[in-house]
């Protein structure tokens, strides 16, 4: 955004002018914030201490990563820097490596929990990435992930009420079958008992079959599952639009 303002401030200006609105009044940024960021770009000494520390650490992290054939992950990069006398936290290395796009090699086969089927019909997006709700039982967000255990992978499905970020339904399974995902949704319905036609929206990612297929009795509760960044309005128990 700072670069965009630099490119167009000569046309629109930062201060109010006759016949035009200043660019900072249109964009979600205050003129003082822009001036502070621009001053930091001109003089790195004005950057916050954390930003200066990050700028010094990033070349060291990249050096360790490259010297070890780009296979070291966060833990090994952090331990190598500690051996070299760097005093830093593991979470700092994780944050900077994530920002730099560096990732170590993972042993074993990567686990994919979401496999989208682009040919399947997908509902409209009723949320538009705005995960906020004015009251309970207005927006539910669901997903599932996995947890590595000594006996194998455990898959966890959960439904969260966006109003209070409260988990209202969850299930654990050893496999990614349709039933355990639907069980989490049904538990949320049983726990909250939303009113009929009260406008409840359920937001989730699109999965390929058989994860998108639903049992006949569950279709009354949730019509389908939306795509990435999409959502749906809950069915018979909660109202449709």
Domain locations along the chain: 1-46, 50-108, 139-233
Beta carbons of 125 and 231 less than 8 angstroms apart: yes
In the chain, % of residues over pLDDT 90: 28
User: Cβ contacts of residue 73 below 8 Å, gap of 6+?
Assistant: 103, 104, 105, 106
b/e per residue 188-220 (b: at least 16 CB within 10 A): bbeebebeeeebbbbbbbbbeeebbebeeebee
pLDDT of residue 65: 96
Q: How far apart are CA 238 and CA 220, in angstroms?
A: 9
Q: Which of the residues in the chain have pLDDT under 50?
A: 208-241
Q: How far apart are CA 172 and CA 153, in angstroms?
A: 10
pLDDT of residue 44: 86
Beta carbons of 180 and 172 less than 8 angstroms apart: yes
Sign of CA dihedral 91, 95, 100, 106: positive
Residue 150, both tokens: 């000594």
What is the dihedral angle through the alpha carbons of 125, 129, 135, 141, rounded to the nearest 10 degrees? 80
Residue 27, both tokens: 């964009």
Beta carbons of 59 and 53 less than 8 angstroms apart: no
- Laid out side by side, the sheet with 152-161 consists of 166-173, 152-161, 139-149, 201-203, 231-233
pLDDT of residue 71: 93
What topology does CATH give the domain 139-233?
Double Stranded RNA Binding Domain (3.30.160)
Q: How far apart are CA 220 and CA 170, in angstroms?
A: 19
Instruction: Quote the pTM value.
Output: 0.49
pLDDT of residue 87: 93
């Amino acid at each position: 955004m700072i670069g965009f303002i630099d490119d167009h401030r000569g046309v629109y200006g930062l201060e109010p002018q006759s016949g035009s609105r200043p660019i900072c009044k249109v964009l979600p940024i205050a003129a003082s914030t822009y001036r502070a960021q621009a001053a930091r770009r001109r003089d790195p000494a004005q950057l916050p201490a954390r930003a200066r520390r990050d700028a010094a650490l990033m070349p060291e992290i990249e050096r360790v990563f490259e010297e070890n054939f780009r296979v070291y992950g966060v833990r090994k990069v952090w331990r190598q820097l500690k051996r070299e006398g760097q005093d830093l936290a593991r979470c700092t290395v994780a944050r900077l490596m994530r920002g730099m796009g560096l990732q170590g090699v993972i042993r074993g086969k990567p686990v994919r929990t979401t496999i989208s089927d682009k040919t399947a019909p997908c509902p409209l997006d009723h949320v538009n990435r705005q995960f906020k709700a004015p009251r309970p039982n207005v927006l539910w967000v669901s997903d599932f992930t996995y947890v590595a255990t000594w006996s194998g992978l455990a898959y966890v499905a959960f439904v969260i009420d966006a109003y209070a970020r409260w988990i209202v339904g969850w299930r654990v399974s050893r496999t990614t079958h349709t039933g355990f995902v639907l069980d989490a949704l049904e538990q949320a319905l049983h726990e909250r008992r939303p009113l009929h036609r009260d406008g409840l929206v359920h937001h989730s990612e699109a999965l390929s079959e058989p994860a998108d297929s639903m049992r006949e009795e569950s279709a009354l509760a949730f019509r389908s599952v939306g795509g990435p960044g999409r959502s749906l309005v809950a069915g018979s128990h909660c109202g449709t639009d």
